[in-house]
Every structure is written in structure tokens, then in C-alpha cells.
Amino acid sequence: MKQAYTEAYFKASADYVLEKAGFAPEIGVILGSGLSPLGEAVENAIEIPYADIPNYLVSTVQGHAGKLILGTVAGKKVVCMSGRFHTYEGYDPEELTAPIRLFKLLGCKAAVVTNAAGGVNTDYKPGDIMIISDHIKLMGDSPMRGRNVDEFGPRFFDVSKMYTPELREIARRLGKDSGLTIHEGCYFFMTGPQFETPAEIRAIRILGGDAVGMSTVTEALTAAHCGLPFLGLSVITNMAAGILDQPLGHTEVIETANAIRDRLTAYVKAIIAEI
């Protein structure tokens, strides 16, 4: 029988985390491939393996630590996901609502989400950061598929300001002194796990995508559904297929993320301090 994803189902996760942490976090953070070192910035950290949390999921991707880290960053109480979940791991779209719904039930007032993405816009370079202003998703089911959970949000919901303008403004302003090259653009979702073909990348560029990746969109849609302000940051870890004459691999993603880890950590901490 198919699992019924009710508020009570997700509340079991939140109750467990709140009991272990002893406090309600203000901001939820999700760290993507190769970006888990950001979790080291959490002070007075309490770590909870995903596998210990009732009704939660387990990350299977190299470079994803697979644990919640709760503590303080820049004076704010945070819950940080070191490692995330993807459709290519075999999870149903409805299951992938779990992280953001956990943040909502824990009492978070905003979510900051990072990912590793391929650069489609030829003005981008590996190591650049793209503030996500919008996304394009032409494949894969919605995480809101199936019976609506009314306690989180309405059946039909607006997504025109899904990537919260006020949070994007904070990221743009702080980016000027970050030592990073900051862009703002459109994230194109692909299901993976294979990287895209050169022909697909040409099509994505024509359709208006600036960067491409296999995550984040599920979290953004879930945040929009439950009214949680959302900031998405893509780390351009490689140029997408066909732009450079070289094969793509996960090792390149990890190496680029490691090269900017200190500047990226400082940048995200500055953003959290202002939210």
C-alpha cells in the first residue's frame, strides 16, 4: 500500500529532531555535492544521522555526509542538512518534500539551499556562484502530486516569487564583497543521474537556462507550497557538456567546491546573519 504523506507523518521527524536538539532553529540550510564543509561552520553542533530520524530519507551520493547538523551560525540558530536527496536515487517526488517540511515544522523562517551545477551560460566559469532567480522544470512529477496536505498549503499555489526577492537582494548585496564572482540566473532541472548531452545543453541555453542541475527544484516547490522564504545558490562546478572539449565527472564537482570552500562559507554565513 502506498504511504500516506500526512502532516503527522512529517511531524514524527520534527518531534524527534526537536527532542534531540533542545531548541527550534530559525533557518534551514541544505548543502549540495561537495559543499558539506560548510557544516563545519556550525558552532555548538549537534549531529543527527538521517538514518536515525523517523520517516526521513537517507542520502546515497558521494560527497553527501548524510546528517543533520544543528547549532549556531552567525548568531542564528540553524538546522543544516549535510547532504540531500534526488529523484535519481529512486525516491518518489512526494518523499522529497521531507526536508523542507521538516524545516517548516521545526519553526524555520527561511531556507538557504546550495547546489553544484553545470554552467550553461558561456559567461560563467567554474567557481562562480549563481543566485537562482527562477527555474525551468520540463520533466519529472511535482512533489505536490497526489493528495494535498492542506496543513502545509493549498492544492493550487503561486510560484512567481518562489525564489524570494528579498533574500536574493541580500545575496546580491553581500556578494559584492565576497571575493566570489556572483551571477543571477535561471536554473534548469534535469533528472539525471547521467550528465546532459551537448544537444540537451544547446536546447537548455535556447530555452533560457543559465545553469543545469539535478536538485533544488523539489525543495523550492515545497517551500513555495508551505510559504517558506527560499534562497537558492548554485556553485558552478563545471561547464556543461559540449562547452569545453573534455568529459564530465563527479570528481571535478568536488574539486571545484573545495577550491572555493572558505569564500563560500564566509558568504553564506554573511547571508544568514542578515536574514
Q: Kindly list the catalytic residues.
A: 33, 64, 86, 88-89, 116, 214-215, 238, 250
Question: What is the C-alpha to C-alpha distance for residues 5 and 10, in angstroms, rounded to an integer?
Answer: 7
Q: What phi, psi does 74 have (nearest 5°)?
A: 55, 40
Give whole-number Cα distances, 245 to 67, 192, 241, in Å.
Answer: 37, 21, 8
Q: Which three cell numbers stand for residue 37?
A: 564543509
Question: What is the C-alpha to C-alpha distance for residues 163 and 230, in angstroms, rounded to an integer?
Answer: 5
Give whole-number Cα distances, 262 to 6, 26, 246, 268, in Å.
Answer: 40, 23, 27, 10
Q: Which three cell numbers stand for residue 1?
A: 500500500
Question: What is the C-alpha to C-alpha distance for residues 83 and 32, in angstroms, rounded to an integer?
Answer: 6
| 195 and 91 Cβ atoms separated by less than 8 Å | no
Q: Which three cell numbers stand for residue 223?
A: 517551500
Amino acid making up residue 59: S
For 90: left if phi > 0, alpha if psi spans -120 to 50, otherwise beta; the answer is left
